[in-house]
Structure 1
């Protein structure tokens, strides 16, 4: 039997379950039955206004036709991709991806470009983006292809990429460390556990730990964690990972949630430098504050640039470590303790405390206090019962005085930095980590994980991580060159994205119109526009230099 197409397909509409479905009618000649027959290919639907809405298969087919067809001319949006090409070279991402993932390097880079340029757009829109934007792929990559790509990103190749990236900048900067939670309702992912996120919500989630360079402003490494693990339990695993990944001369900065004697001992054992905050309720924090309380708030201890008072002292840490062979190591290790007091912080903490205390008293008086509130009330309130007036609730002034006496104080530890101002500056730079997580979850479509397998989750997370390196670099340049006065990250990329690239067979590549604003953006990143011409300001500066 030989079937042959006898005419070009026509679009028709069929209503299925109340939805007008669009299909292509392919007539063909059935040589066996000696008659004309029809084959249907559904390509989308009509919306409420009668406009055609293509489905994923149709979009993928269109992308394939656009990429694979031999064309005499090609026209694509190119300006933002040109900037990302430059960033990939400067950061080494392009070279490291090529070495770690030689067979799928173009897919990873192209998908990362899409995630950077399209902000919160979901990955399923990638085939549509391919039709209009310049990219490196020579074939279409639809939804199924993207899933296969995520599943093919192996652990060994990822670790190789982390090693290569770390060697480029690890020895020159402190590394900030933090965790975040990502909600997921997939029952097929073992790491999904019920836990509390940073907003206090109890949700099924996974945790993500990330290491971030403070000077470069770029993420270095991440680790996927079960959703119910606490911050303090993650640091020791990160230390072990750093040794496995051959990170040399590690310098780490962490938030107070990661402090424990075990973690500090682990850092000393690994010979890592560190700066970390103490939880205010720890014995070491309280004793450190008490030791300097009477002499801290004097102008001689005032750090004007930071608006804090500071006293730094050197002490000895009681180091204890049990080796794998069961041998116990003990000794004294040098430790710098920096105690700070900030008057604005004290006022803010007192205001928040007073507001909460009033609400607590009201809840107790009205009989609406929860068990947790009643437990707190036992410490901060007094209860006096009389036969006539019943129970009278009053403030426990002495308990409140003890509770609030450390407001405004905070303590940092370091085994390297002995100057309080430098330690505080390094610690405050860890805010970059929190901004990184905001970028990851809010900008890169990662507020909720939508994949259903561990392999796809790991693969998607890695591509998001690669995209995050580009975004972090853009953020760093925009901040240092004051570009945030006129642009957000998205508006800057949109400003460049309209620049078109024209490729004609047998002719030199040509670019669309490039404005003065666009040229200045490129020059802020250290490159010229795609056509190689400088901005007018830059051209005048060059002429003056030559003169």
Structure 2
């Protein structure tokens, strides 16, 4: 059937947007062609007292039940309508979305959430961009499946909705969730502040441990080789007077406030947090590791090596790691007995430098000592011996900087000693280290300088399994991923202060942990997309540097409610090209235009 396509001032893109926003194609007339009815979209224009035809287009065929099959030519001009169902109603064709919803499904709390949707007015807008992307991530990395296996579908939907809430807004407070859920597409009904507290209180430690075990199993199945997990602790301040674990102790920030400690294990490969432990605020890092080792007895840690800083390098802690069959790479203090002899034997050679000890990739001098570690194994009743690799590194630039700084301090100290001025504690300690007391008072000692000067710019790593100095350093330097997790927890997931009661503490930390999984997964997707060789330049330039900025950009993308005579559906805002390319680069499918 032929139609006249002559037209003036016709903009297909603007017309398509009108169809989507209005939910109708109007006006139309019906043309009968040999018993087959066709819907014709047209527009007339008045010129003086004469009505002139501006254009007309065949929309599609009309069937006996008044459903309309949109024609190929019509869809070629308006491709966004390809997923729509069309129904004839008078001189109007009403549009409805497809049957499959791509936003968070409503099955877990279908009745309650549908009742909320039914109350929405025509053209009500719900924020959906950020919740859609984070929900897709939860589906793709098995987070949603693991939550449903442990907590059931209803509770899983609520927990994940709360996690999306905290991940989407860095300053979120739990009491604001009710307002947030009224304006956001989520699979759970709006919850009051009291109901959110009850959700936190309902989370039990055995459930958390089952969930963490599942996450670790996923991590191990996706990483075939040796697993390297970064471990560290951080402090979280609290104003609450009811949380018994808060204490004044080894505070890392805000020493004027009582605090909790949080131990965290992060996969160096995926960047995903795998395990956490809420600890008392007065517990030091070594004690935190001891508690972790007790918990790891319940987890499958075969082929796992912990990557830690030098706070965890004491001989007693190394004994515990060997007893628990946990590999390790950790920084070590240079004054520990098991390091001193190795440092003394390597220091001068590293200072002289040489091609055999030069690590070109890092610009460092390095040498390794292979020795054995003896420890008592209670399971056998004997002393066991395992390999230990001590890697000593010299950074020439760091050594030069430390030498200059130290000499300036010593020069200032020398003048104060000569003037008999009072010394503060750091200066008194420095005097003991580099000066000797004689009959004429304190005097600078060159031998003490030579003994200490050779340690400048040196640092040590010890490992139970990695014999290469270069490989040990590469793995160790990736441990900053745990610091990135801590920063995200505090700055992006509202984890800097604990504003909750004792009974809700563990549950709230668990939900923040879920938020952290979502954010770190998104961050690592950006990182991997940039590193892919086949990542097109057009996509790469749109990849954001900051996850919160990206989520803020998504949060203004809405779905709009449309109600027709027989059903209700939602349609998406137009998604900007920048965001569409970003979603494609990080493996998130762009949602279809309509949702029912």
Larger Rg belongs to: 2
Q: Which moved further from structure 2: 481-490 or 412-421?
A: 481-490
Question: Cα RMSD (Å) of the superposition?
Answer: 2.8
d(CA) in 2 for partners of 1:201, 1:361: 34
Q: Deviations over 1:497-525 (max 9, x none)?
A: 22212344525542111111010110121
Give yes or no for the alignment of 1:488 onto 2:538: no
d(CA) in 1 for partners of 2:159, 2:415: 57
The 8 Å contact of residues 266 and 321 in structure 1, kept in 2 or not, is answered as: no
- Alpha-carbon deviation of 1:275? 1.2
- Which residues in structure 2 correspond to 1:264-283 (within 5 Å)? 264-283=318-337
Structure 1 portions without partners, runs of 5+: 1-62, 534-547
Q: Deviations over 1:234-289 (max 9, x none)?
A: 22321221121344432211111011222222222222222111111111222222
The 8 Å contact of residues 120 and 561 in structure 2, kept in 1 or not, is answered as: no
- Alpha-carbon deviation of 1:160? 0.9
The 8 Å contact of residues 163 and 247 in structure 1, kept in 2 or not, is answered as: no
| Alignment partner, residue 81 of structure 2 | none
The 8 Å contact of residues 94 and 109 in structure 1, kept in 2 or not, is answered as: yes
Change (3 A) 1:462 1:409: same
Give yes or no for the alignment of 1:191 onto 2:245: yes
Q: Deviations over 1:473-506 (max 9, x none)?
A: 1221223334797441111112222221234452
Correspondence for 1:131 among 177, 182, 191: 182
Change (3 A) 1:293 1:376: closer
Give yes or no for the alignment of 1:309 onto 2:360: no
d(CA) in 2 for partners of 1:115, 1:337: 43
d(CA) in 2 for partners of 1:248, 1:322: 19
Q: Which moved further from structure 2: 228-237 or 429-438?
A: 228-237
2:261 is paired with a residue whose SS is strand
Give yes or no for the alignment of 1:408 onto 2:457: yes
d(CA) in 2 for partners of 1:202, 1:257: 23
- Alpha-carbon deviation of 1:401? 3.1
- Which residues in structure 2 correspond to 1:29-44 (within 5 Å)? none
| Alignment partner, residue 501 of structure 2 | 452
| Alignment partner, residue 239 of structure 1 | 293
Q: Which moved further from structure 2: 335-344 or 476-485?
A: 476-485
Change (3 A) 1:352 1:183: farther
d(CA) in 1 for partners of 2:256, 2:332: 26
| Alignment partner, residue 167 of structure 2 | 116
- Alpha-carbon deviation of 1:318? 1.5
1:190 is paired with a residue whose SS is coil
1:418 is paired with a residue whose SS is coil
The 8 Å contact of residues 170 and 213 in structure 1, kept in 2 or not, is answered as: no
d(CA) in 1 for partners of 2:309, 2:467: 18
Q: For this pair of structures, how many residues does the alignment match?
A: 461
- Which residues in structure 2 correspond to 1:353-372 (within 5 Å)? 353-354=406-407, 356-357=409-410, 367-371=421-425
| Alignment partner, residue 160 of structure 1 | 210
The 8 Å contact of residues 178 and 254 in structure 1, kept in 2 or not, is answered as: yes
- TM normalised by structure 2 equals 0.71
| Alignment partner, residue 435 of structure 1 | 484
d(CA) in 1 for partners of 2:446, 2:349: 25
d(CA) in 2 for partners of 1:517, 1:446: 31
| Alignment partner, residue 5 of structure 1 | none
Correspondence for 1:422 among 466, 471, 474: 471
| Alignment partner, residue 35 of structure 1 | none
- TM normalised by structure 1 equals 0.77
Q: Deviations over 1:142-188 (max 9, x none)?
A: 21111111111111111111011000013622100001111224332
- Alpha-carbon deviation of 1:218? 0.4
Structure 2 portions without partners, runs of 5+: 1-111, 531-539
| Alignment partner, residue 86 of structure 1 | 136
d(CA) in 1 for partners of 2:562, 2:416: 75
Correspondence for 1:347 among 400, 408, 427: 400
